[in-house]
């Protein structure tokens, strides 16, 4: 296992842990078996830890299909991506075609929309269509062919799993390390229709506690990021709580940003 924090994820992702990678890599144990990340999003900790064997899971089928296409044929994805200029008209026309075409086309379109959409968020309307407005180009360059090939090379060791987190960790054993980063809880009336796959309700937190307690009983080492860490800590006595300060955009604050704590809970020394 080596650390390569410099490698840029190919996707922008709401809730990315890129800002606290030094903290997370410092907390990660030596990995004898697999690195398992059931809420992988941009997979930035996977990229930083460079494990020999991994399971990357997410419930978002477009995300996992994009990673699968990149793993299997980054040149095909790049060739399509390079045809599209960075402008609003192209963005809106690609958004209207969301979900159409072969694997390479869909992956290229997902990368393009992710790069230029507002705030890098993933949201669908009630008909399951991606509906995030255009956000402009001040989002850093599109990953180039070398970056896509590097990313593809990293994914060769990974099983890509599309589905609920429980399925991704149910066979984890004592040699495995599991990093979980579920969507945070912000209260209010969130629902899957309005907020896409990023909704995570109280019932999901109960399921999360049951699944990680079972994996912990099997000996897996587990690290969890969550904003309501006290809820997990109450249900998982003896787990160790740590935090790292981060700068976050918060509505209602004068300059729009303030320092907040990112919590981590783990079941190993
Ligand atoms: C906070 S993001 C993960 C961010 C990631 N750690 C990173 O650094 O980019 C949470 C992810 O969980 C996924 N997700 C939401 N509900 C899920 C579920 N029930 N099972 C698996 N993944 C889920 C979302 O699609 C999203 O990609």
Residue 193 has pLDDT above 70, yes or no: no
Task: Based on the fold, state whether residues 141 and 26 are members of the same structural domain.
Answer: no
Q: Are strands 221-225 and 257-266 parallel, antiparallel or unpaired?
A: antiparallel
Helices (H), the chain: 21-27, 44-49, 61-72, 74-81, 88-96, 103-116, 145-155, 165-169, 192-195, 202-217, 229-235
Domain termination site, one of 162, 195, 214: 162
Task: Based on the fold, state whether residues 74 and 148 are members of the same structural domain.
Answer: yes
Dist CA 198 CA 184 (whole Å): 9
Q: What is the mean pLDDT of residues 179-194?
A: 71
Task: Based on the fold, state whether residues 31 and 96 are members of the same structural domain.
Answer: no
Q: What is the count of structural domains for the chain?
A: 2
Residue 120 lies in a domain: yes
- Ligand 1 site: residues with CB under 6 angstroms? 13, 15-17, 38-39, 41-42, 44, 57-60, 164-165, 181-183, 197-198, 200, 204
Residue 115 lies in a domain: yes
- pLDDT tier for residue 124 given thresholds of 50, 70 and 90: confident
Q: Which position has the higher pLDDT, 186 or 32? A: 32
CA-based nearest residue to 90, from 134, 138, 38: 134
Task: Based on the fold, state whether residues 55 and 170 are members of the same structural domain.
Answer: yes
Helix (H) or strand (E) holding 54: strand 54-58
Residue 97 lies in a domain: yes
Q: What does the mean pLDDT of the chain come to? A: 90
Task: Based on the fold, state whether residues 76 and 157 are members of the same structural domain.
Answer: yes
Dist CA 11 CA 142 (whole Å): 9
Residue 37 lies in a domain: yes
Residue 193 lies in a domain: yes
Dist CA 74 CA 145 (whole Å): 8
Pocket test of ligand 1: the residue of 25, 185, 198, 209 to mutate, having most ligand atoms within 8 Å of its CB, is 198
Backbone angles phi, psi at 168, to 5 degrees: -75, -25
Task: Based on the fold, state whether residues 47 and 137 are members of the same structural domain.
Answer: no
CA-based nearest residue to 263, from 219, 232, 220, 217: 232
pLDDT of residue 207: 96
User: Which ligand 1 atom is at minimum distance from the Cα of 196?
Assistant: 25
Q: Which domain holds residue 232?
A: 18-59+166-266
Task: Give residue-wise pLDDT tens across range 205-255.
Answer: 999 999 999 999 999 999 999 999 999 999 999 999 999 998 877 555 556
C-alpha of residue 147 to centroid of ligand 1, in Å: 23
Pocket test of ligand 1: the residue of 59, 162, 178 to mutate, having most ligand atoms within 8 Å of its CB, is 59
Each residue of 209-238: b (16+ CB within 10 Å) or e? bebbeebbeeebbbbbbbbebebbbeebee
* CATH code (residue 28): 3.40.50.150
Residue 190 has pLDDT above 80, yes or no: no
C-alpha of residue 235 to centroid of ligand 1, in Å: 21
Pocket test of ligand 1: the residue of 9, 61, 197 to mutate, having most ligand atoms within 8 Å of its CB, is 197
pLDDT of residue 126: 81
Domain termination site, one of 132, 162, 192: 162
Backbone angles phi, psi at 185, to 5 degrees: -95, 125
Q: How many CA atoms lie within 13 A of 205 on its CB side?
A: 19
DSSP letter, residue 184: P
Task: Based on the fold, state whether residues 54 and 80 are members of the same structural domain.
Answer: no
Q: Which position has the higher pLDDT, 268 or 190? A: 268
Task: Based on the fold, state whether residues 257 and 199 are members of the same structural domain.
Answer: yes
DSSP letter, residue 197: G
C-alpha of residue 181 to centroid of ligand 1, in Å: 6
Ligand 1: residue whose CA is nearest its atom 26: 41
Task: Based on the fold, state whether residues 187 and 262 are members of the same structural domain.
Answer: yes
Task: Based on the fold, state whether residues 29 and 117 are members of the same structural domain.
Answer: no
Domain termination site, one of 162, 181, 216: 162
Ligand 1: residue whose CA is nearest its atom 8: 16
């Amino acid at each position: 296992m080596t650390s390569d924090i410099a490698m840029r994820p190919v996707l922008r992702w709401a809730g990315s842990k890129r800002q606290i990678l030094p903290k997370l890599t410092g907390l990660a144990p030596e990995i004898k078996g697999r690195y398992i990340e059931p809420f992988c999003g941009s997979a930035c900790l996977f990229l930083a830890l460079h494990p020999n064997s991994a399971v990357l899971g997410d419930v978002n089928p477009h995300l996992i299909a994009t990673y699968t296409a990149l793993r299997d044929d980054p040149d095909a994805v790049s060739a399509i991506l390079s045809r599209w200029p960075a402008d609003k008209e192209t963005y809106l026309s690609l958004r209207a075609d969301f979900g159409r075409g072969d694997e390479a086309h869909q992956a290229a379109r997902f990368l393009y929309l992710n790069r230029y959409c507002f705030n890098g968020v993933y949201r669908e309307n009630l008909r399951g269509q991606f509906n995030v407005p255009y956000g402009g180009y001040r989002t850093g360059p599109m990953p180039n062919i070398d970056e896509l090939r590097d990313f593809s090379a990293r994914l060769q060791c990974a099983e890509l799993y599309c589905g609920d987190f429980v399925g991704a960790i149910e066979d984890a054993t004592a040699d495995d390390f599991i990093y979980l980063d579920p969507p945070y809880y912000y209260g209010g009336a969130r629902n899957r229709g309005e907020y896409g796959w990023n909704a995570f309700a109280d019932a999901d937190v109960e399921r999360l506690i049951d699944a990680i307690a079972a994996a912990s009983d099997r000996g897996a080492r587990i690290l969890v990021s969550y904003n309501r860490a006290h809820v997990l800590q109450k249900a998982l006595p003896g787990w160790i709580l740590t935090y790292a300060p981060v700068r976050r955009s918060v509505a209602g604050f004068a300059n729009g940003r303030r320092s907040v704590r990112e919590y981590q809970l783990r079941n190993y020394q």
